A and B are shown apart, each in its own frame.
Chain A
Amino acid sequence: MAVSGLIMIGYLLLHMYGNLKVFAGKEAFDEYAHHLRTFGEPMLPYEGLLWIVRVVLLAAIIVHVYAVVVLWRRNRKAGAVRGARRYYSKKNRTGIQRSYASFTMRWGGLVVLAFIVYHLLHLTTNDIAPGGASDSPYERVVNGFEIWYVVVAYTIAMLAVGFHLWHGIWSALTTLGQNRSSNRIDSRLTGLAVVVTLVITLGFLMPPWAIFLGLEA
Chain B
Amino acid sequence: MKITVNVWRQQDAESKGSMVPYVLDEVSEHMSFLEMLDVLNEQLTLEGNDPVAFDSDCREGICGTCGVVINGIPHGPEVTTTCQLHMRTFKDGDVIDIEPWRAGSFPVIKDLVVDRGAFDRIIQAGGYISAPTGSAVEANNIPVPKADADHAFEAATCISCGACVAACPNGSAMLFTAAKITHLGLLPQGQPERDSRVLGMVEQHDAEGFGGCTNIGECTAACPKGIPLDTISRLNRDLLGALSRQTIG
Residues of A within 8 A of B (CB): 71, 74-75, 77-81, 86-93, 95-98, 102, 105, 167, 170-171, 174-184, 187
Contact = CB atoms under 8 A, between A and B. Distances in A.
Contact of A88 (B8, B233, B240): B8
Contact of A81 (B73, B104, B213, B216): B104
Interface in B201-249: 209-218, 220-222, 228-230, 232-240
A179 B99 contact: no
B217 A175 contact: no
A174 B231 CA distance: 10
Contact of B220 (A90, A102, A175, A184): A184
A177 B237 contact: yes
- In this complex, the interface size class of chain B, counting residues with CB under 8 Å from chain A, is 35 or more
Contacts of A80: 102, 104, 171
Contacts of A89: 6, 69, 71-72, 97, 99
B218 A176 contact: no
B218 A95 contact: yes
B162 to A, nearest CB: 13
Given A88-B99, A174-B232, A182-B229, A97 B214 contact: no
B72 A91 contact: yes
Contacts of A87: 69, 72, 97, 99, 102
A75 B170 contact: yes
Contact of A86 (B73, B102, B212, B234): B102
Contacts of A105: 214
Contact of A102 (B69, B73, B216): B216
Nearest to A91: B71
B82 interface: no
A92 B211 CA distance: 21
Contact of A98 (B71, B105, B218, B232): B218
A86 B166 CA distance: 10
Contacts of A86: 102
B52 to A, nearest CB: 15
A93 B210 CA distance: 21
Contacts, number: 135
Given A78-B104, A78-B209, 18 more contacts: A74-B212, A75-B170, A79-B103, A79-B170, A81-B102, A87-B69, A89-B6, A89-B69, A91-B73, A95-B216, A170-B215, A174-B232, A176-B237, A176-B240, A179-B215, A180-B233, A182-B230, A187-B230
A75 B215 CA distance: 13
Contacts of B102: 79-81, 86-87
Contacts of A174: 215, 229, 232-233, 236
A118 to B, nearest CB: 26
Interface of A is mostly: loop
Nearest to A86: B102
Nearest to A2: B236
B217 A177 contact: no
B233 A98 contact: no
A182 to B, nearest CB: 3
B104 A92 contact: no
Given A89-B72, A92-B71, A179-B229, A75 B236 contact: no
A67 to B, nearest CB: 9
Nearest to B231: A182
Nearest to B236: A177
6 contacts: A71-B214, A77-B211, A79-B104, A90-B72, A92-B71, A177-B235
A67 B209 CA distance: 16
A74 B222 CA distance: 22
Interface in B152-202: 167-172
Contact of B105 (A78, A88, A97, A171): A78
A95 B8 contact: no
A77 B209 contact: yes
Contact of B215 (A74, A81, A175): A175
B31 to A, nearest CB: 21
Contact of B103 (A78, A88, A96, A183): A78
Contacts of A88: 6, 8, 19, 97, 99
